[in-house]
Amino acid sequence: MTSTKTAPPSAPSPEQARPDRTERTPRRIAFGHKLSKWDLKLSPYLYISPFFILFAITGLFPIAYTAVISFMDWDLVRNSGTFIGFDQYVYVLTQPKFWIALRNTFSIFLLSSVPQLILAVFIATMLDQNIRAKTFWRMGVLLPYVMAPVAVALIFSNMFGDKYGLINTTLADLGLPPVMWHSNAFASHIAISTMVNFRWTGYNTLILLAAMQAIPRDYYEAAAIDGANRFRQFTAITLPSLRPTLIFVIITSTIGGLQIFDEPRMYDQFGTGGANSQWLTISLYLYDIGWGQWNFGRAAALAWILFIIILAIGVINMLVTNRLVRDEGSRDGRSRRDRRAAAIAARTELEHRVGGTVRDDFGSAPTGAATSDTNDKTTEVAR
Amino acid sequence: MTATEPATQATTSMNTVASVTVNAKDPKRRLRSRPVRGSRPGWFVYTALAIVLGSAIFPYYWSFLIGSGDAGTIRDPNMSWLPGGNFIENALTVVNDPAVNFWRALWNSIYSSALIALSVVFFSTLAGWAFAKLKFKGGKWLLVFVVATMAVPMQLGVVPLYILFADLGWTGNVGAIIIPALVTAFGVFWMTQYIQQSVPDELLEAARVDGANSFRTFLTVGLPAARPAAAMLGLFTFVTAWNNFFWPFIVLDRSDPTLPVALSLLQSNHFVDYSIVLAGVLLSTIPLLILFVFAGKQLVSGIMAGAVKG
């Protein structure tokens, strides 16, 4: 600011020297300058405005409006509501169906995300090795991702058929009793989780693979030198390095898992979550209240309850993941700060030792660039 | 004589520091391990990967197997693992079923997904360009806000959105599924990240020196530079829009569906005849399969690049 203000007073001196030139050009520059200044100032806001305007209409406004509707008894004919306070929340929370749906959602979510992530880490570790035809395997792993969840649900509900399904036929061939994939609640959760796992494992694998490839190879070399085996390298280097990515993947799969709708909706031809709500999920219940019973107030209340659950689980997830992965990476019960302090102390001690002895020896008689270079590398490896 | 002395001194010093002996091997090790990571893995890795690949392909094959048979195939205890000859017949049944509206659904899916992908790419690149390369008051906070909105579930907005579109008389119209999808927070975040990392500030300055105004700079510098990320974002958005079910299922009429909604009708119409249902499933998956064959590489590298790296 001050520099632009002090500039004009110094300008007159060249003006006096060459009067005819300065008369035209500065004015044009000033005008153009003003325009481009406005351009520079305004255009960023113009560029981001489409997002914010559209988001305000289709994202922000509905969220706020959902909150309003959730306190109302919504009349579809008049298309307006009467304020009734927390009654809709009370109603939803006292429905046994809600708690069944909550249980089912959690059960399906856990059955899908836990094995899926373990499997994804495992597959990513294999893909992270120096395999042939990398792109081929990566594309193969992602193949299920392009299939619509509805399509996946239709195929798997066929394979999990109670009477003639592939799985039960196979079980019969093996001499095992058939599993009632539709009437048994837990079995239906396994079937639905299988659909989710089929579609998402590859996707998560690739995300984890990307994070694995970002881990510097030197860490593994150093660990190998220290005598750590494959498994030890995995728990001591790979897993801790993956922590941010794991948190990201867990949170996204939580958000997705708690909203699950397509698969349970298409699991049988009625789409009501089973005769005894065996696989009714919260989203399915929301659809049923809103567009089956046409009660928008209750549906809105349920939507907010779902949102709060997602937020809470997200936070819990983050805390647990942070803990879990960190503990596996550490050698003992020491906190991160302690370990870091110890590592720094060890490093300075080593540097001191290496630097000290080496410098004394070479200081007396320099032997050339090659050896000193090696010594530089030594400290690097030791670090 | 004096020349050898330092050399012996050097070796003794090397022996005193344990890691130096390891280091003596290091140059060779490095040469071997740097460009490729370690040695080639054994057969078990390939076997495991082949199993993974097999389970990824199997459902596709299964739907073809059942879809190419007839109504009795699924109940046949000695079912053959080779496809039957009825696929085209079954597919024609799906296509000609007036209750399913297959062609209508295909067309709706194609143009709504394409429009959504184009719009998301353009607006996200525009906003990403502003967030990444232009300085303006509150930019940082606005970007944080954009990222925060990614955690909001779709379910939170469906009731009022439905009321809104019902008010406008748009329920049953494909526009009702296009409008809410025109921008995404993920897209803005993605493009911001990419442009920040890959477009040097010098390019911007050069354009400014050449007298280009801000929008022209965006068109001539920003858009071309952002092309790889834009292609990936477009692919992603297209796949997501194509497969979206919850909102279209709520807001669209059964007579004017998208493919997933049409698929859902297939089951309620032919709930016994799985050969027709699964033929329809495969039929509706073919367009995306074709896309995957041509653009799968991009999609893979897109997911790989989009990850949060430690």
Could you read off the pLDDT of A173-231 as tens digits, one per residue?
Answer: 899 999 999 999 999 999 999 999 999 999 999 999 999 988 888 888 888 888 888 88
Could you tell me the two tokens for A80? 């307006």
Q: Is A243 on the interface with B (CB under 8 A)?
A: yes
Rounded to whole angstroms, the Cα distance separating B184 from B283 reads 29
Residues 246-285 of B with CB under 8 A from A: 246, 249-250, 259-260, 263-264, 266-268, 271, 274, 277-278, 281, 284-285
What is the band of A28 on the pLDDT scale with cuts at 50, 70, 90? low
Mean pLDDT score, B204-228: 83
Rounded to whole angstroms, the Cα distance separating B222 from B132 reads 10
Rounded to whole angstroms, the Cα distance separating A145 from A151 reads 11
- Model ipTM? 0.83
Q: Which of A35, A105, A158, A347 to mutate to test the interface with B (most CBs of B within 10 A)?
A: A158
DSSP, residue by residue, B99-140: TT-HHHHHHHHHHHHHHHHHHHHHHHHHHHHHHHH---TTHH
User: How far, rounded to the nearest angstrom, does the alpha carbon of residue A267 sit from its chain's CA centroid?
Assistant: 27
Residues 158-177 of A with CB under 8 A from B: 158-159, 161, 163-164, 166, 169
Rounded to whole angstroms, the Cα distance separating A200 from A141 reads 10
**Considering CB atoms only, which of B139, B285, B296 is closest to A147?**
B285
In Å, how far is A91's CA from the nearest CA of chain B?
18
Half-sphere exposure for B153 (CA within 13 Å, toward CB) = 31
DSSP code of residue B3:
T
Cβ–Cβ < 8 Å for A58, B177: no
**Considering CB atoms only, which of A299, A366, A374 is closest to B159?**
A299
In Å, how far is A19's CA from the nearest CA of chain B?
26
Size of interface A-B (CB pairs under 8 A): 352
Minimum CA–CA partner of B20 in chain A:
A378
Describe chain B by its helix, strand, coil percentages, rounded to 5.
75, 0, 25
**Considering CB atoms only, which of A43, A58, A61 is closest to B215?**
A43
Contacts within 8 Å (CB) and 24+ apart, A340-348: A347/A383
Cβ–Cβ < 8 Å for B126, B218: yes
Q: Max alpha carbon distance in chain A (Å)?
A: 106
Residues 202-231 of B with CB under 8 A from A: 208, 213-215, 218
Taking CB atoms and an 8 Å limit, are B308 and A244 in contact across chains?
A: yes
pLDDT at B5: 40
Q: Is A129 on the interface with B (CB under 8 A)?
A: yes
Between vectors from CA A356 to CA A352 and to CA A359, what angle results, nearest 5°? 140
Q: Closest Cα to residue A102, out of A283, A240, A272?
A: A283
More confident residue, A9 or B295: B295
pLDDT at A164: 81
What is the band of A151 on the pLDDT scale with cuts at 50, 70, 90? very high
**Considering CB atoms only, which of B56, B167, B249 is closest to A144?**
B56
Over its C-alpha atoms, chain A yields an Rg (Å, rounded) of 32
Beta strands in A210-330 (DSSP E): none
User: φ, ψ for residue B89 (rounded to 5)?
Assistant: -60, -45
* Cβ neighbours for A60, distance < 8 A, ≥ 6 positions apart: none
What is the band of B213 on the pLDDT scale with cuts at 50, 70, 90? confident
In Å, how far is B246's CA from the nearest CA of chain A?
7
Q: Is A293 on the interface with B (CB under 8 A)?
A: no
pLDDT at A337: 65
Rounded to whole angstroms, the Cα distance separating B167 from A80 reads 11
Q: Closest Cα to residue B267, out of A277, A268, A193?
A: A268
Amino acid (1-letter code) at residue B215: F
Reported as a single tens digit per residue, the pLDDT across A317-329 is: 778 777 766 554 4
In Å, how far is A113's CA from the nearest CA of chain B?
17
Half-sphere exposure for B274 (CA within 13 Å, toward CB) = 25
- Left (φ > 0), alpha (ψ -120 to 50) or beta: where does A111 sit? alpha
More confident residue, B102 or A32: B102
User: Does the structure show a pLDDT above 70 at B186?
Assistant: yes
What is the band of A38 on the pLDDT scale with cuts at 50, 70, 90? confident
pLDDT at B216: 83
Residues 263-282 of A with CB under 8 A from B: 265-266, 269, 271
Taking CB atoms and an 8 Å limit, are A59 and B157 in contact across chains?
A: yes
Q: Which of A15-24, A94-103, A284-293 has the lowest mean pLDDT?
A: A15-24
Helices then strands (H, E): number in chain A?
Answer: 18, 2
Q: What percent of chain A has pLDDT over 70?
A: 77
Mean pLDDT score, A28-40: 68
Rounded to whole angstroms, the Cα distance separating B131 from B140 reads 8
What is chain B's length? 310
Q: Which of A198-212, B27-41, B285-299 has the lowest mean pLDDT?
A: B27-41
Q: Is B310 on the interface with A (CB under 8 A)?
A: yes
pLDDT at A376: 40
Neighbours of B71 (CB within 10 A): 14
Taking CB atoms and an 8 Å limit, are A217 and B34 in contact across chains?
A: yes
Between vectors from CA A311 to CA A70 and to CA A247, what angle results, nearest 5°? 160
More confident residue, B166 or B73: B166
Full-model pTM: 0.79
Could you tell me the two tokens for B48? 């495991």
Q: Is B191 on the interface with A (CB under 8 A)?
A: no
Taking CB atoms and an 8 Å limit, are B214 and A40 in contact across chains?
A: yes
Minimum CA–CA partner of A371 in chain B:
B10
* Cβ neighbours for B115, distance < 8 A, ≥ 6 positions apart: B178
Mean pLDDT score, B287-306: 87
In Å, how far is B258's CA from the nearest CA of chain A?
12
pLDDT at A372: 39
Among all chains, which residue has been given the structure tokens 């969220």?
Answer: A63
* Cβ neighbours for A94, distance < 8 A, ≥ 6 positions apart: none
Mean pLDDT score, A137-142: 93
Rounded to whole angstroms, the Cα distance separating B274 from B266 reads 10
Taking CB atoms and an 8 Å limit, are A48 and B131 in contact across chains?
A: yes
User: How far, rounded to the nearest angstrom, does the alpha carbon of residue A357 sit from its chain's CA centroid?
Assistant: 49
Rounded to whole angstroms, the Cα distance separating A159 from B283 reads 18
- Left (φ > 0), alpha (ψ -120 to 50) or beta: where does A229 sit? beta
Mean pLDDT score, A32-59: 82
What is chain A's length? 383
Q: How far is CA A315 from CA A248, A254, B143, B144, B226, in A?
A: 12, 10, 21, 18, 34
User: Does the structure show a pLDDT above 90 at B86?
Assistant: no
pLDDT at B17: 38
Rounded to whole angstroms, the Cα distance separating B281 from A195 reads 15
Contacts of A163 in chain B (CB under 8 A): 75
What is the band of A354 on the pLDDT scale with cuts at 50, 70, 90? low
Contacts of A168 in chain B (CB under 8 A): none
Q: How far is CA B32 from CA A378, B24, B28, B36, in A?
A: 19, 15, 6, 7
Helical H segments across B134-273, by residue range: 139-148, 155-168, 175-178, 185-198, 201-209, 214-217, 223-225, 227-243, 246-251, 259-269
Q: Is B189 on the interface with A (CB under 8 A)?
A: no
Rounded to whole angstroms, the Cα distance separating A143 from B185 reads 25
What is the band of B307 on the pLDDT scale with cuts at 50, 70, 90? low
Q: Is A355 on the interface with B (CB under 8 A)?
A: no
Contacts of A143 in chain B (CB under 8 A): 53, 56-57, 60, 292, 296
Residues 77-106 of A with CB under 8 A from B: 79
Q: What percent of chain A has pLDDT over 90?
A: 38
Taking CB atoms and an 8 Å limit, are A44 and B130 in contact across chains?
A: yes
What is the band of B134 on the pLDDT scale with cuts at 50, 70, 90? confident
Q: Which of A29, A38, A46, A51 to mutate to test the interface with B (most CBs of B within 10 A)?
A: A51
Cβ–Cβ < 8 Å for B175, B115: no
Could you tell me the two tokens for B274? 């799985």
**Considering CB atoms only, which of B13, B127, B284 is closest to A357?**
B13
Cβ–Cβ < 8 Å for B110, B178: no
User: φ, ψ for residue A72 (rounded to 5)?
Assistant: -125, 160
Amino acid (1-letter code) at residue B135: K
Reported as a single tens digit per residue, the pLDDT across A241-272 is: 888 888 888 888 888 888 999 999 999 888 88
User: Does the structure show a pLDDT above 50 at A140?
Assistant: yes
User: Does the structure show a pLDDT above 90 at A152?
Assistant: yes
Contacts of A124 in chain B (CB under 8 A): none
Could you tell me the two tokens for A91? 């109603």
Rounded to whole angstroms, the Cα distance separating B98 from A33 reads 64
The pairing of strands A72-75 and A80-83 is antiparallel
Contacts of A290 in chain B (CB under 8 A): 158-159, 162, 250
Q: Is A229 on the interface with B (CB under 8 A)?
A: no
Q: Which of A31, A38, A48, A325 to mutate to test the interface with B (most CBs of B within 10 A)?
A: A48
Amino acid (1-letter code) at residue A248: F
Beta strands in A47-110 (DSSP E): 72-75, 80-83
